[in-house]
């Protein structure tokens, strides 16, 4: 019995000093874990969740009339782990954002002083058909495993004269399965 008491008397202080040494070292950083659990036929690939599409520098003279377009810049939304056993075999995408004052089907670039005027951003499907902002696209068939939804963005003039300036914007997207 005496040996157990002496042994525990020696072990407890040693363990406390080892813990204190770790705590005294402090923290060198933080790791935050993010994610969500979904009940959908597919999951949006991590690289598709937050994207940046560079539309580049475009001369204002590119736009001679309302409706003129810049060169398209492709982007995609990649869906992974698609399981069609639920019976949901199609997906539509809605691009939601602040619409242009002149043409509400386009995304606005008028974000304050120094912004370009007379132009918005259009999003187009693979058939080069414009997808109206804040409305669902035509449904696309899902593929078992992986489905890649291809789109293109481009500047679209809303006036005969486009005023130079920054032409940045952002849009959220949401998926509807059917």
pLDDT in tens, 29-62: 878 888 778 788 999 999 999 999 999 999 999 9
Percent of the chain's residues with pLDDT above 90: 73
Q: What confidence score (pLDDT) does residue 25 get?
A: 64
Residue 177 has pLDDT above 80, yes or no: yes
- In angstroms, rounded to a whole number, what is the distance separating the alpha carbons of residues 32 and 144? 32
Torsional class of 26: left (φ above 0), alpha (ψ -120 to 50), beta (otherwise)? left
Residue 17 has pLDDT above 70, yes or no: no
What is the enclosing helix (H) or strand (E) of 146?
A: strand 145-157
Q: What confidence score (pLDDT) does residue 6 get?
A: 47
Q: What confidence score (pLDDT) does residue 35 get?
A: 79
- In angstroms, rounded to a whole number, what is the distance separating the alpha carbons of residues 143 and 110? 38
pTM: 0.78
Q: What confidence score (pLDDT) does residue 24 get?
A: 55
Per the prediction, the chain carries an average pLDDT of 87
Residue 119 has pLDDT above 60, yes or no: yes
Residue 65 has pLDDT above 70, yes or no: yes
Percent of the chain's residues with pLDDT above 70: 86
Q: What confidence score (pLDDT) does residue 123 get?
A: 96
Q: What confidence score (pLDDT) does residue 5 get?
A: 46
The neighbour count for residue 170, using CB atoms within 10 Å, is 12
Check if the beta carbon of residue 137 is closer than 8 Å to that of residue 122. no
Check if the beta carbon of residue 119 is closer than 8 Å to that of residue 157. yes
Nearest partner of 172 among 35, 77, 78, judged by Cα = 77
**Domain covering 43-177 assigned CATH 2.60.40.1090 in the classification:** yes
Check if the beta carbon of residue 89 is closer than 8 Å to that of residue 128. no
């Amino acid at each position: 019995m005496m040996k157990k008491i002496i042994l525990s008397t020696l072990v407890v202080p040693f363990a406390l000093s080892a813990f204190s040494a770790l705590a005294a070292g402090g923290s060198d950083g933080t790791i935050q874990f993010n994610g969500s659990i979904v009940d959908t036929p597919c999951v949006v690939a991590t690289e598709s969740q937050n994207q940046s599409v560079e539309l580049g520098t475009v001369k204002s003279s590119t736009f001679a009339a309302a409706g003129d377009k810049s060169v398209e810049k492709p982007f995609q939304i990649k869906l992974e782990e698609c399981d069609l056993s639920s019976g949901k075999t199609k997906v539509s995408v809605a691009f939601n954002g602040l619409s242009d004052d002149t043409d509400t089907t386009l995304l606005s670039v008028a974000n304050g002083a120094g912004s370009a005027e007379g132009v918005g951003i259009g999003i187009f499907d693979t058939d080069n058909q414009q997808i109206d902002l804040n409305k669902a696209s035509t449904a696309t068939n899902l593929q078992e495993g992986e489905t890649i939804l291809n789109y293109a963005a481009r500047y679209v003039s809303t006036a005969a004269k486009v005023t130079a300036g920054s032409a940045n914007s952002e849009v959220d997207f949401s998926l509807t399965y059917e």
